[in-house]
């Protein structure tokens, strides 16, 4: 055991041996942070500075906790027992079980999963007579979890953090939800940290107990902590002040789920006299890759600063390659060709990855790999056509093409919610079996014969009327316009727009990509046949596979060869980051680019296309500003010389954030569809197939703001309404 420090470099050893007082270890990508953390843990034990149960060690995942426990056991030469080692939620649950009575709970309290949380919140909203259609429970739940992530109890929400949900009733609903949880002797995941922080802040005896217990605190991935996690750590660290946080401010990429980069940036202010140790020797990547990543991230102002250099003996390696391509289809062909070429040269598919900014981008590469017969896997998600929102949309298309498709009809009949519950579905099935009809035909028969009543009758009548209308559009204007109209008028797009979960924007982007995919086919049936063949392309677990994933999902992984496609303004950096203005969002996008490049051990291939399809139309794209920020001496630019030249000229480092916006069409925006020739003026009375009669109150090009008689104000395209002036 005496040689456990010998394998560390100087900076790593300094981080391990600086046991007393606050320490921040800035661990760059591939610099051995897990080794430092586990060796530090073992060093404290072997130096007899603490017993195992006197070290609090916090990780972000159960997998990381297991790995650390195993590594510590190997250093000690025996299993590590009695440790306070785990995720934030697991450790807080352990604390709350011990002191449950002090927060009004019993020690056997239940921890509700997300489904139970939402069910309980819906009950609270029903009791308060809140219309769940107008005010979606998912949106309120997301707001409550944001408050909990920031450490706000219902009575502590500042005015600046208030919500306009349900006309300002969100805080009262939050309080009622918490009261119901307590009555059930239950907590949700947000409560585990929130109640722990509340307990430590308000009960000096409990705080003193843990100050005495924990002589040392170790924290992994500190840059990913949110505010309530930060408060919990600060409260516990005020005892011995021996807190060591390991993290990388340059890899803080999770603000969308509450992470606060300011937590790591202000460490020295929070803990005066803190020691800062920088781990800069990267043992993963070649020198050109590290130089490119370091030059790129140096453009960020909000960072503590460090420069990666290679700790490998074979550090020279190939330059980072930037490939300029004519369009996104050529980009997919280029990546497929390179993958084939590398595989023929002896490279393993398991050591290659395609990293995209958003999940919808995988579709083009998935279909290319299927065409070439190259096995692949999606890491951290589903294959494109397996995603729930895509399956829903395709189910609509299947019913559109074939009304007797019972499986598809059953999937979408109550998606979005139309009040068609189990009893109504049972009635449809009974009618279908009795008359040997499809569910669609059985629904028609029940509507004609009066076998359905009330809201269900009206909902199903409207749905079937919509399908008649959509089939008419399919016949007159084609499958692309039919899908756009269907997604809009069915309420499916509105359902995801109302969803405030972090996944909702990605689902909307996936639906846009589905419309783009549809435009590649001459007819709807050809597309549906294609999807069926793609879904039959089963993966075999015994083969090496090419990996595809988002850049967010790639953090912590590494590959010999990494493809980074879609480096264009509006794609990467993402359009939302550009729309928000300011540097904060843009700097997080740049950190994401840094993460992407540093996943590569030997080769990084970045690509951008001059043209991308927006539905049926092609739109010009401008190279990402991040490409210009790469240093010339470690970058090889290939592809069209003209496009490379235009890329370099089009990307001065100081252009305004909005100057290079790529036009992103809304999901219902149909640029290929001819606009109507007769302009509809303000004041005109119109009819819409879904929303009924209304009067135009504003006109913005081909978009109309209409006050509908039964459904209020909505914005629609003028081509979807008919004039009914009286």
Kindly report the CATH number assigned to the domain that includes residue 618.
Answer: 3.40.50.300
Asked whether residue 442 carries a pLDDT value surpassing 60, the answer given is yes
55-59 vs 281-282, strand pairing mode: unpaired
Backbone angles phi, psi at 245, to 5 degrees: -110, 130
pLDDT reported for residue 203: 95
Same domain, 543 and 635: yes
Select from 448, 469, 498 the last residue of a domain. 498
Same domain, 56 and 36: yes
Same domain, 140 and 221: no
Distance linking the first and last C-alpha atoms of the chain: 92
Nearest to 519 by CA among 430, 612, 428: 612
Within 300-421, strands assigned E span 309-310, 320-327, 352-356, 376-378
| Per-residue buried b or exposed e for 361-378, using 16+ beta carbons within 10 Å of the residue's own CB | bbbbbbbbbbeeebebbb
**481: domain CATH number?**
1.10.486.10
Q: Which two tokens stand for residue 290?
A: 């590290």
Is 644 contained in some domain? yes
Is 190 contained in some domain? no
Is 665 contained in some domain? no
Is 179 contained in some domain? yes
Asked whether residue 512 carries a pLDDT value surpassing 60, the answer given is yes
**Tens of pLDDT along 285-305?**
999 999 999 999 999 998 988
d(CA 199, CA 352): 48
pLDDT reported for residue 617: 65
Same domain, 626 and 574: yes
Is 507 contained in some domain? no
Select from 147, 165, 184 the last residue of a domain. 184
Which sequence positions are flagged as catalytic? 33-34, 220-221, 251, 599
The mean predicted confidence, pLDDT, of the chain is 86
Q: Tokens 């596979």 map to which residue? A: 545
pLDDT reported for residue 80: 65
Asked whether residue 584 carries a pLDDT value surpassing 50, the answer given is yes
Is 630 contained in some domain? yes
Asked whether residue 81 carries a pLDDT value surpassing 90, the answer given is no
Same domain, 617 and 638: yes
Asked whether residue 306 carries a pLDDT value surpassing 70, the answer given is yes
- Mean pLDDT confidence for 97-118: 90
| Strand ranges across the sheet with 692-700 | 712-717, 703-708, 692-700, 685-688, 721-723
Asked whether residue 646 carries a pLDDT value surpassing 50, the answer given is no
Asked whether residue 643 carries a pLDDT value surpassing 70, the answer given is no
- Mean pLDDT confidence for 339-361: 94
Is 678 contained in some domain? no
Nearest to 413 by CA among 459, 373, 458: 459
- Mean pLDDT confidence for 28-33: 90
243-247 vs 216-219, strand pairing mode: parallel
pLDDT reported for residue 616: 57
pLDDT reported for residue 67: 81
Same domain, 544 and 643: yes
Q: Could you give the number of structural domains in the chain? A: 5
Same domain, 47 and 71: yes
- Mean pLDDT confidence for 541-554: 85
**Tens of pLDDT along 48-76?**
999 888 999 998 888 888 888 887 777 77
Give alpha helix (H) positions in 133-203.
Answer: 137-149, 170-183, 189-202
- Mean pLDDT confidence for 482-506: 88
Same domain, 203 and 88: yes
Same domain, 225 and 354: no
What residues make up the domain containing 237?
10-96+195-279
- Mean pLDDT confidence for 320-326: 94
Q: Reduced to 3 DSSP states, what percent helix, strand and coil does the chain have, rounded to the nearest 5?
A: 50, 15, 35
Select from 184, 214, 231 the last residue of a domain. 184
Is 525 contained in some domain? no
**133: domain CATH number?**
1.10.10.160
Helices 170-183 and 114-127 cross at an angle (nearest 10°) of 120
Same domain, 88 and 200: yes
Asked whether residue 726 carries a pLDDT value surpassing 70, the answer given is no
Same domain, 125 and 152: yes
Same domain, 559 and 634: yes
Q: How many CB atoms lie within 10 A of CB 249?
A: 24
């Amino acid at each position: 055991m005496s040689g456990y420090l010998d394998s560390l470099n100087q900076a790593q050893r300094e981080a391990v041996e600086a046991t007393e007082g606050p320490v921040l270890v800035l661990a760059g990508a591939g610099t051995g942070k897990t080794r430092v953390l586990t060796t530090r843990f073992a060093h404290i034990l072997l130096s007899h500075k603490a017993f195992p149960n006197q070290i609090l060690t916090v990780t972000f995942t159960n997998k990381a906790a297991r790995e650390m426990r195993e590594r510590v056991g190997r250093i000690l030469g025996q299993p590590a027992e009695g440790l306070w080692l785990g995720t934030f939620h697991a450790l807080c649950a352990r604390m709350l079980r011990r002191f449950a009575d002090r927060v009004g709970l019993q020690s056997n309290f239940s921890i509700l999963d997300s489904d139970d949380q939402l069910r309980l919140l819906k009950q609270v909203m029903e009791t308060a007579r809140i219309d769940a259609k107008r005010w979606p429970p998912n949106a309120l739940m997301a707001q409550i979890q944001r408050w909990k992530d920031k450490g706000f109890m219902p009575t502590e929400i500042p005015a600046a953090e208030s919500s306009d949900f349900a006309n300002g009733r969100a805080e009262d609903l939050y309080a009622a939800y918490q009261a119901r949880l307590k009555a059930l002797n239950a907590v949700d995941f947000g409560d585990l940290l929130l109640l722990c922080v509340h307990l430590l802040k308000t009960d000096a005896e409990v705080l003193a107990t843990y100050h005495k217990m924990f002589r040392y605190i170790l924290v992994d991935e500190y840059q990913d902590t949110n505010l309530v996690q930060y408060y919990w750590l600060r409260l516990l660290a005020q005892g011995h002040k021996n807190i060591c946080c390991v993290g990388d401010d340059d890899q803080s990429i999770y603000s969308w789920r509450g992470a606060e980069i300011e937590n790591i940036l202000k460490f020295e202010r929070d803990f005066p006299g803190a020691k800062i140790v920088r781990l800069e020797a990267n043992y993963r990547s070649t020198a050109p890759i590290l130089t490119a990543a370091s030059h790129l991230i140096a453009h960020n102002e909000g960072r503590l600063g460090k420069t990666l250099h290679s700790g490998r003996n074979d550090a020279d390696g190939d330059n980072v390659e930037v490939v300029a391509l004519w369009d996104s289809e050529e980009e997919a062909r280029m990546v497929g060709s390179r993958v084939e070429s590398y595989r023929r040269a002896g490279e393993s598919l398991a050591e290659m990855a395609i990293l995209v900014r958003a999940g919808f981008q995988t579709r083009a590469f998935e279909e290319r790999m299927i065409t070439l017969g190259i096995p692949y896997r999606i890491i951290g998600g589903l294959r494109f056509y397996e995603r729930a929102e895509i399956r829903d949309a395709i189910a609509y298309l299947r019913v559109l093409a074939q009304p007797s498709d019972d499986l598809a009809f059953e999937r979408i009949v109550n998606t979005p919610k139309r009040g068609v519950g189990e009893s109504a579905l049972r009635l449809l099935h009974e009618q279908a079996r009795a008359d040997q009809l499809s569910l669609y035909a059985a629904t028609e028969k029940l509507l004609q014969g009066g076998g359905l009543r009330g809201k269900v009758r009206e909902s199903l009548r409207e749905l079937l009327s919509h399908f008649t209308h959509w089939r008419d559009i399919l016949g007159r204007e084609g499958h692309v316009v039919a899908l756009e109209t269907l997604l809009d008028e069915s309420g499916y797009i509105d359902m995801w727009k109302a969803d405030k979960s972090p996944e909702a924007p990605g689902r909307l982007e996936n639906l846009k990509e589905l419309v783009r995919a549809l435009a590649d086919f001459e007819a709807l049936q050809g597309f549906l046949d294609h999807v069926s063949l793609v879904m039959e392309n089963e993966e075999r677990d015994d083969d090496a596979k090419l990996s595809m994933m988002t850049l967010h999902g790639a953090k912590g992984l590494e590959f010999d060869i990494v493809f980074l496609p879609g480096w264009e303004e509006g794609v990467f950096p993402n359009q939302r980051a550009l729309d928000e203005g300011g540097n904060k969002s843009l700097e997080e996008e740049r950190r994401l680019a840094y993460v992407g490049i540093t996943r590569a051990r030997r080769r990084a291939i970045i690509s951008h296309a001059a043209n991308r399809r927006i539905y049926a139309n092609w739109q010009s794209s401008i190279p990402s500003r991040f490409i210009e920020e790469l240093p010339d001496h470690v970058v090889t630019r290939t592809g069209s010389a003209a496009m490379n030249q235009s890329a370099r000229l089009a990307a001065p480092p100081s252009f305004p954030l909005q100057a290079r916006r790529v036009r992103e069409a809304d999901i219902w925006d149909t640029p290929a569809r001819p606009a109507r020739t007769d302009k509809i003026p303000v004041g005109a009375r119109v009819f819409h197939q879904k929303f009924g009669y209304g009067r135009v109150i504003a006109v913005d090009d081909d978009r109309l703001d209409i006050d509908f008689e039964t459904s209020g104000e909505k914005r629609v395209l003028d081509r979807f309404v008919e004039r009914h002036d009286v």
